[in-house]
Structure 1
């Protein structure tokens, strides 16, 4: 059963890079702990592209960012000292907790040209973990369990599903998987979670007798379910247990509006440390009113 279909909304991040924003959506803010879901690209970048393609240092609180690529390369640098390139079928998992800053640079693309395509998701932290110390981990190879079955190639990015568990440390029950499906292949969707969704990144699938093409997220009801690829398809499966209401302001996520306001003031006042290896510029706080606070 489908509860809702969400279509990506395209927006520019500058330098020709476009993303398809899926979550949050006005009528569906979260799926399990997943509070943000952006489809990056696809974008062909010619060698010599300008630096406006890069994402300059910026802050986060209260979440884990999960970056996963189908193609291309991004260089990550953060305020806990991490410097790590991410490549296809690898994961950069950054837990912001009480506060972290990071940049995402497309250095390979500018140097030699590249084809950029991937997904960035944010996983909100449970209330008890929102202020934990920030951290970063990179995962590749055996950290992301792989399986192959009847035309489906799967990679488990995070959490537990299909009898497998990925290596990234998560803070609440969830699953996140990447499926490559040949035409006619059928895949089961994990049913052991209260909230689930699938996102068609490329190609098209059939679910409950209807066809859905790239750029659509299907938010699913409970119970066993399957999807079938009607053409070559790349599909992301995600979900988990709800963790309660979350407020968002710019790059900040929290169970408290007061905490969002504090984070905004901290960034504006320069109280959040920039990455040691990338501290010469940053993205300023957006114009507009700060998050409202409770009386």
Structure 2
């Protein structure tokens, strides 16, 4: 098996000491299928009484869906549609920005009670024909919506998309899969070649992929057309993702689009404060960054 690329996470402080490891976009691999952004959050020990500097304040998006997925802790989501949803481990917050949405993600419960915050956030770029769709928000939980399995030392949950005959109830807009495995030491499981672009990320532990080592904080992007065998060398938390490519996307700040003009329009709308904030969280405004750098 030929491996396309090994990506090491790059550490970023989102503010107040909330550190994430960024995998996508990467200079040599900007997307995997429609996945255009992937951050590993924490683990972070939030003490009861912590101040709000750890919160993700209201900010805008266009042209993508965001998916927040936790291993521990909880996050309070509020958005400009009026959604107010607490997300807990194993649940899925799927927010489709379309032509524009704003939201915040605050650590309300963690700051009140204390918690270990640990999880991932991904952005899924929308196909060109859906980039201007109306924004929407959905919350999913339980095996009826997110198919689960447990066998041979592996427990799994299909977070979104389709794989090997299973389908999550999350509304997506292009062919993709997003999968969570917990693997006991020595457990083995195959990943099929169903989707043309695929990547494997180790959040905790260490695995081998087709005999190649993959440690915590590393993402392996696979060549298409070959199934691979994943073997856990230690108890491991593994995320698997991919799908059909959807074409080049431009990114600036929290905006993703196939059109530079749409990003400029969204930037001006945010700068002029024409994008509504969440009705329950509208007392803060983050200025548009002035530095325009493709990341």
Distance 1:201 1:281 in 2: 32
Q: 1:290: how far off? A: 8.2
1:282 has 2:282 as partner: no
Cα deviation 1:41-60 (Å, max 9, x = unaligned): 00001001011010110000
User: 1:65-90: per-residue Cα shift (whole Å, max 9, x none)?
Assistant: 01000000000000011000000000
**Secondary structure class of the residue paired with 1:143:** coil
Cross-structure match for 2:267 = 264
Q: Give how far 1:289 is off.
A: 4.1
Contact 1:264 1:290 in 2 (8 A): no
Shift of 1:163: 1.8
> CA offsets per residue over residues 91-129 of structure 1, 9 Å max, x none?
000000000000001001110101000000000000000
Distance in 1 (alpha carbons) for counterparts of 2:263 and 2:176: 25
What are the ranges of 5 or more consecutive residues in structure 1 without an aligned counterpart?
Answer: none
1:22 and 1:8 mapped to 2: Cα distance? 5
Q: How far apart are the structure 2 equivalents of 1:255 and 1:192?
A: 26
Q: Which residue of 1 aligns with 2:108?
A: 107
Mapped partners of 1:20, 1:156: distance in 2: 22
Q: Which consecutive residues of structure 2, in runs of 5 or more, have no partner in the other structure?
A: none
Q: Secondary structure at the match of 2:262?
A: helix
For the residues of structure 2 that align with 1:270 and 1:95, how far apart are their CA atoms?
20
Query: 2:31 matched to 1:37?
Result: no
Secondary structure of 2:181 counterpart: strand
CA deviations over 1:187-245 (Å, ceiling 9, x no partner): 11131111000000000001232222100000001211111000000000000000000
SS of residue in 1 equivalent to 2:214: strand
Rounded to whole Å, the distance in 2 between the matches of 1:194 and 1:2 is: 14
State the number of aligned residues. 291
The residue number in structure 2 matching 1:185 is 187
Answer yes or no: is the 8 Å Cα contact 1:8–1:20 preserved in 2. Answer: yes
CA RMSD of aligned residues (A): 1.0
How far apart in 1 are the matches of 2:152 and 2:285?
47
Distance 1:160 1:242 in 2: 15
Question: Which residue of the other structure, out of 208, 219, 224, is the alignment partner of 1:217?
Answer: 219
Residue 253 (1) aligns with residue 264 (2): no
Give runs of aligned pairs for residues 12-161 of structure 1, distance below 5 A.
12-141=13-142, 142-161=144-163
Q: SS of the counterpart of 2:269?
A: helix
TM-score normalised over the length of structure 1 = 0.97
Cα distance in structure 2, aligned partners of 1:171 and 1:289: 29
Provide the rounded CA distance (Å) in 2 between the counterparts of 1:239 and 1:36.
12
Give the secondary structure class of the aligned counterpart of 1:188: strand
